Chains A and B, each alone.
Chain A
Amino acid sequence: MCGEGATAGSILHQGKAKTVYATDRADQVLIVFRDDITAGNGQKRAEIPGKGSLTSRISALLFRELERAGVATHFLEERGPAGLLARAARIVPLEVVVRNRAAGSLSQRLGLPEGEPLPRPIVEHYYKRDDLGDPLVNRDHIRALGLASDDVVDRMEAIALRVNDILTARLAAARLVLVDFKLEFGLAGDALVVADELSPDTMRVWDAESGRRLDKDRFRRDWGGVLEGYEEIWQRLSESPFTGNAACGAGADETGAPRTFTTWVRIMPKEGMLDPQGKAVRDGLRALGFTGVADVRVGKMVQLVLTATSEAQARDDARSMAKRLLANPVIEDFSVHVASPGEGSR
């Protein structure tokens, strides 16, 4: 059993929605999700009983999903009804926002109608400073303030896009649209990990059919039904395909007898690389009247059925296969996805 209440030590940080506690291990922290909800950088605040438990559970579920897809996060396990045990991290003072559709401040600043799909995801950086109202910053600002090295910014951006792919697919399986989200990163030891939370407090999630908002915008815009929205997201996520190992020992991949893993290697022409095939397909689609096609890139998908003792091993094997044969590193990038048991090959 690992659900026992952790021996919470001193408070390290009392934020707007969470409290970070020290634990008996210097490399671990306990993050407790409170029922407080704030907007407009704390100008508007309320308490919604039950919210902390939901944001904590949704975060845990999505962190597991990222770990399963090979993205390093700070998540270790769930503790109590609204707590996460996490790797202690030095938080990079930048919030990374990925947007798939226009909404919120982007709509306001650029005059794009809310909900307008963006031709490709937009990545933004915000300087994490409450007293300045978390201003939008660009690479030159980041360098001038020494907030993070170019390399770290590059890596955060690449990981954020990867996370976007994973979460978009995961939410789509629950008939939800991921409009945008915010990530925080931290250094746990030498590793750059996704930290903080992944919940409707930090992402915009719409119902795929009706477009109904289910996230914190309900609070920001006084629409009511905030808790119901969060509940709905939790219900749908927990009922749709998911294989994270329940609360205990989550994140750790169990090894044992060899099993088969259906694994996909997605291979794409490198970013910025001329893709005549994609161009031809794009022109073809436009000729068919699909005027909204802004860009097309054609890659390939290789489906492998692998025998391995753990999911991590299957992923590692597929990666080396991709490096040695399936992709040509001079011209192509690849990503690996190991199917969850319920996830059929389509």
Chain B
Amino acid sequence: MKWAVAVFPGSNCDRDAYRAVADVLGDQAVYVRHDASSLLGADAVILPGGFSYGDYLRPGALARFAPVMEAVRSFAEAGGPVLGICNGFQILCEAGLLPGALLRNAGQRFRCQPVCLRVENSHTPFTGRFHAGQVIRMPIAHGEGNYFAPPEVLDELEQQGRIVFRYCDPDGRATPAANPNGSARNIAGICNARGNVVGLMPHPERAVEPFMVSTDGLALLAAVRDWLQATSTSPPDGNSATGGVQGAC
């Protein structure tokens, strides 16, 4: 499979992401620049971490106008897997591909440390190698990762199973103490309604080799391969079997 790693002025985790999928995972990978208009036929896209456009105005606020974001948007709308990591998550929120916003950490400090995450939804393209409730470990490194959304949006995310990861303690309890940045309901990652666009603050590309915090990030990235295979071998649309709903409008 082929990955596209987006590169904005100020991205700084693009090479780690590229290395993780190309060298460690052994997939094909290409960089796509902010001014590119196509994703070069990639099967999955990563919006990497960093400080795109210097975090000017608000993190992610300016990156969303980069031409490549048009390509990412249509790719996402067509159901392609999109992963936003850290600043990439902020960009997805600013672009409206994911709800909510990321505020300055409640503790006012930049947090750079390993964290435990509880997998809440194992049905996204990125979580198929985990099971719901599983505790995984990855590092975080951010000053603005405090997830915020109005309560009704949080309820909706909750009801629709769109909270993908929560900060937790090693036993899987999402306690206030395990919350490194004040995120609402300990949210570390969410997905869109269709499930193909996932954003998270922790860095899976920094958890891919034995000397790192864990190799859980590798499992996250590798899951996309399974997901692509499953979607290409299953019948194009389940609707034909049930007759579908016709003339609904």
Stretch at the interface among B72-80, B98-106, B130-138: B98-106
| Sample of 12 more A-B contacts, CB < 8 Å, known A280-B108, A325-B61 | A273-B103, A273-B148, A274-B103, A276-B103, A276-B104, A279-B108, A326-B57, A328-B58, A328-B101, A330-B149, A330-B150, A331-B101
Determine whether the beta carbon of A330 is less than 8 Å from that of B104.
no
A277→B107 CA distance, assembly (Å)? 10
Chain B residues with Cβ under 8 A from A273's Cβ?
103, 148
Determine whether the beta carbon of A331 is less than 8 Å from that of B61.
no
Interface set of B (CB-CB < 8 Å, partner A): 57-58, 61, 94, 100-101, 103-108, 146, 148-150, 182
Flag A327-346 by CB within 8 Å of B: 1 or 0 each.
Answer: 01011000000000000000
From B104, B106, B150, residue with most partner A Cβ within 10 Å:
B104
Determine whether the beta carbon of A330 is less than 8 Å from that of B108.
no
A273→B101 CA distance, assembly (Å)? 12
Cβ of A176 to closest chain B Cβ, rounded Å: 36
- Nearest A residue (CB) for B182: A274
19 interchain pairs (CB within 8 A)? A273-B103, A273-B148, A274-B103, A274-B106, A276-B103, A276-B104, A276-B105, A276-B108, A277-B108, A280-B108, A325-B61, A326-B57, A328-B58, A328-B94, A328-B101, A330-B100, A330-B101, A330-B149, A331-B103
Chain B residues with Cβ under 8 A from A330's Cβ?
100-101, 148-150
A274→B103 CA distance, assembly (Å)? 9
A161→B211 CA distance, assembly (Å)? 57
Cβ of B37 to closest chain A Cβ, rounded Å: 21
Chain B residues with Cβ under 8 A from A326's Cβ?
57
Candidates A276, A328, A331; contact of B106 at CB < 8 Å: A276
Flag A309-331 by CB within 8 Å of B: 1 or 0 each.
Answer: 00000000000000001101011
- Nearest B residue (CB) for A280: B108
Determine whether the beta carbon of A325 is less than 8 Å from that of B57.
yes
Chain A residues with Cβ under 8 A from B105's Cβ?
276
Chain A residues with Cβ under 8 A from B182's Cβ?
274
A325→B104 CA distance, assembly (Å)? 19
A274→B184 CA distance, assembly (Å)? 12
Chain A residues with Cβ under 8 A from B106's Cβ?
274, 276
- Nearest A residue (CB) for B99: A330
Cβ of A286 to closest chain B Cβ, rounded Å: 15
